[in-house]
Structure 1
Amino acid sequence: MIYAEILAGGKGTRMGNINMPKQFITIDGTPIIIHTIEKFILNDRFEKILIVSPKEWINYTKDIIKKHIGENDRLVVVEGGSDRNESIMSGIHYIEKEFGIEDDDVIVTHDSVRPFLTHRIIEENIDEVLKHGAVDTAIEAVDTILQSKDGEIIDNIPIRDTMFQGQTPQSFHINTLVNHYNALSGDEKTILTDACKICALKGENVKIVKGELFNIKITTPYDLKVAKAILQERISK
């Protein structure tokens, strides 16, 4: 089966002085997370769409889904974990408990605050993960990338043509991801920045799906302004 998992476990500390996690901020009267969920609902290949929420925001998440989307038996709100990857695993544990996990089951994971992903990106993630087992969405780096261990002195300037900027979705054969995650040491888990690194650390080939410049992650007040501009441009067309 094919599952989606929308990661809404963050608290949005970089958004500044707000009284709720960033995924609940509204754009044009609709919470960011709802814009994101709607993209996944439109794809009928998903058996279930899991929304991973902080424990204290689960009821609020359910309420806004009911208000803006209505009843939909494909949508399930589950409690997140202590970090991004633990939240992914929380969703997988729910799948295992409720449905069991078959060898060919896959999951498409996505940031709740990337509301501008396209049908193409979702479809290519599904198609490629069924063939390759691990997929990341990325765009070619536009700017030169600098490496610095201390944030003050440049250690290395990689060749830009080989650099990509990671986005989401990130998609996996569920059993492959779980097996690799469970095989990580405690130290390896502390350096993880996203789920694809779980596979990369264990030698798994990760297929790249082309993202889009506008598939932005809304993290800061500036990002929010850009997101509002993108939405207004689409409304005016």
Structure 2
Amino acid sequence: MATNIMTCAAIIVAAGVGNRAKRSSDTVAKQYVRIAGKPVLCHTLIPFLESEDIDFVKVVIAEGDRSLYDCAIEPLLSDYPESLLKAKLLPPVIGGDTRQSSVLNGLDGLADHKLDNVLIHDAARPFVTRQILRRCRSALQQHKACLVATPVTDTIKRVSQDGVIEATIDRSTLWAAQTPQGFHFDFILEAHRRAAQSVTAAFTDDAAVAEWAGQPVRIVEGSPSNTKLTNREDLDMAEQALSGIKPATQPLTDARMGTGYDVHAFEPGDGVIIGGISIPHDQKLKGHSDADVGLHAITDALLGAIADGDIGTHFPPSDPKWKGASSDLFLKDAMRRVADRNGKVSNIDLTIICEAPKIGPHRPAIRARIAQICDLDLERISVKATTSERLGFTGRKEGIAALASVCVRLPEPQD
């Protein structure tokens, strides 16, 4: 249970039909399809039950699905204490004809619990993490509404009805919405009730209801792995991913160390970006991308640990597509490459070497940003800063250097 005074519940929307995701052998909706030995809904519930930021969980199910729901949560009965499940997993509520009406039924079912916040999540997103839930809970301390999303990285085209490209869309301000979506409970309950009475068109998500009610919605960065299972291929990939990380079959005993080193020179400007954080300064760092010397060093360290080239191999400075690119894209790609090998990052240790600007005041923000990008607990991120005692190019204030060390755990190679 959460120790924070503010109470937070989660609504898991599992009332859909989900026909597109059915495989030929499946006879139930996708949230009840078994992958890696458990129904999708069971996998989705686990991070919410394990999170200290969630006090209650209520699932919205379709009429007639109670037996499927009971089967879906049956594995939890052996994995978690009965006292936890009784206290945290509330009885399910029956949904409506649309997602919007199903969410309203879930909210009404929680109205007597005097909640401060609520997170609304799709049952078909089994890869949500406790770190994402923590970021949502944190955002709701200052905002009434938040939406988990990821920056759009693919080139987006507007196409005519006959299949001809009309324009290339500027993706710099585009984000792909995910769930959970978080809200102050009283606000979103009232907004949904008003929407049900006043609007005939259905909303595609709960953030749209908040926008309709006039409430700004804060973006919370999600994860590319927090995907929704939409079609049969998604179920197959989820099966492989969840089966591949079973500790019993693939213990992560192959520990790999990696180091990364990066340097960027100063040029005229008004600030530097280090560790994903903008720091005011009388110069900026010169580079093809945003010249984030810290994230570049970590990226190289991760690639080194898995023997997968370096940052220049995957993101060559000769390629104009990376001109001015945000370096978190490079780091996320390196983390993806670790995940593709069923690996996990144990820790990241970053040292920044410069005379100026002062890193100390920004160290907490840099640690938090790296943890966010890598979807790791803050305690696994170390950031230090030092000078070179006025020796060398850093001592002459000609640039900044960064050194990173990481530990990656991979499954033991099979003979």
TM-score between both structures, scaled by the size of structure 2: 0.52
The more displaced of 137-146 and 159-168 is: 137-146
C-alpha displacement of 1:158: 2.8
C-alpha displacement of 1:64: 3.0
C-alpha displacement of 1:234: 2.3
- Structure 2: state its 5+ residue gaps: 1-6, 251-410
Q: Distance in 2 between matches of 1:155 and 1:9?
A: 38
3-state SS, counterpart of residue 9 of structure 2: strand
Structure 2 counterpart of 1:146: 157
Percent identity of equivalent pairs: 26
Q: Distance in 1 between matches of 2:76 and 2:229?
A: 21
Establish whether residue 195 from structure 1 lines up as the match of residue 206 from structure 2.
yes
- Could you tell me whether the CA contact under 8 Å between 1:14 and 1:219 is conserved in 2? yes
The structure with the larger Rg is 2
Q: Residue type of the partner of 1:42?
A: E
Q: Distance in 1 between matches of 2:106 and 2:40?
A: 20
Any residues of structure 2 matched to 1:168-179 within 5 Å, and which? 168-179=179-190
Q: Distance in 2 between matches of 1:155 and 1:186?
A: 39
* Compared CA separation, residues 93 and 163, structure 1 to 2 (3 A): same
- Structure 1: state its 5+ residue gaps: none
C-alpha displacement of 1:176: 1.2
3-state SS, counterpart of residue 106 of structure 2: helix
State the number of aligned residues.
Answer: 232
* Compared CA separation, residues 231 and 13, structure 1 to 2 (3 A): same
Q: Distance in 1 between matches of 2:162 and 2:213?
A: 28
- 1:131-156: per-residue Cα shift (whole Å, max 9, x none)? 20101011111212334685756565
TM-score between both structures, scaled by the size of structure 1: 0.89
* Compared CA separation, residues 38 and 151, structure 1 to 2 (3 A): farther
Q: Residue type of the partner of 2:18?
A: G
Establish whether residue 110 from structure 1 lines up as the match of residue 116 from structure 2.
no
Q: Residue type of the partner of 2:94?
A: E
- Could you tell me whether the CA contact under 8 Å between 1:40 and 1:49 is conserved in 2? yes
* Compared CA separation, residues 138 and 24, structure 1 to 2 (3 A): same
Match of 2:243 among 213, 232, 237: 232
C-alpha displacement of 1:45: 3.1
Q: CA RMSD in A?
A: 2.2
Q: Residue type of the partner of 1:90?
A: N
* Compared CA separation, residues 191 and 60, structure 1 to 2 (3 A): closer
- Could you tell me whether the CA contact under 8 Å between 1:24 and 1:33 is conserved in 2? yes
3-state SS, counterpart of residue 146 of structure 1: strand
Any residues of structure 2 matched to 1:153-232 within 5 Å, and which? 157-184=168-195, 188-232=199-243
Q: Distance in 2 between matches of 1:171 and 1:146?
A: 30
3-state SS, counterpart of residue 167 of structure 1: strand
Establish whether residue 8 from structure 1 lines up as the match of residue 23 from structure 2.
no
Q: Distance in 1 between matches of 2:176 and 2:156?
A: 10
- Could you tell me whether the CA contact under 8 Å between 2:41 and 2:72 is conserved in 1? no
Q: Distance in 2 between matches of 1:222 and 1:57?
A: 24
Structure 2 counterpart of 1:25: 33
* Compared CA separation, residues 153 and 130, structure 1 to 2 (3 A): farther
* Compared CA separation, residues 143 and 12, structure 1 to 2 (3 A): same
Establish whether residue 127 from structure 1 lines up as the match of residue 138 from structure 2.
yes
3-state SS, counterpart of residue 81 of structure 1: coil
- Could you tell me whether the CA contact under 8 Å between 1:114 and 1:216 is conserved in 2? yes
* Compared CA separation, residues 150 and 89, structure 1 to 2 (3 A): farther
- Could you tell me whether the CA contact under 8 Å between 1:136 and 1:207 is conserved in 2? yes
3-state SS, counterpart of residue 162 of structure 1: coil
Q: Residue type of the partner of 1:22?
A: K
Q: Distance in 2 between matches of 1:151 and 1:193?
A: 26
Q: Residue type of the partner of 2:191?
A: H
- Could you tell me whether the CA contact under 8 Å between 1:12 and 1:21 is conserved in 2? yes
Q: Residue type of the partner of 1:8?
A: A
Q: Distance in 2 between matches of 1:189 and 1:142?
A: 34
* Compared CA separation, residues 35 and 56, structure 1 to 2 (3 A): same
3-state SS, counterpart of residue 50 of structure 1: strand
Instruction: Spell out structure 1 runs of 4+ moving beyond 6 A.
Output: none
Structure 1 counterpart of 2:75: 68
Q: Which structure ranks higher in relative contact order (CA pairs < 8 Å, sequence separation ≥ 6)?
A: 1
- Say which structure is richer in helix: 1
- Say which structure is richer in strand: 2
* Compared CA separation, residues 134 and 189, structure 1 to 2 (3 A): farther
- Could you tell me whether the CA contact under 8 Å between 2:13 and 2:59 is conserved in 1? yes
Q: Residue type of the partner of 1:62?
A: D
Establish whether residue 59 from structure 1 lines up as the match of residue 74 from structure 2.
no
Q: Residue type of the partner of 1:68?
A: P
Structure 2 counterpart of 1:90: 105
The more displaced of 128-137 and 188-197 is: 188-197
Q: Distance in 1 between matches of 2:197 and 2:169?
A: 29
C-alpha displacement of 1:229: 2.4
Q: Distance in 2 between matches of 1:56 and 1:47?
A: 27
Structure 1 counterpart of 2:338: none
- Could you tell me whether the CA contact under 8 Å between 2:15 and 2:102 is conserved in 1? yes
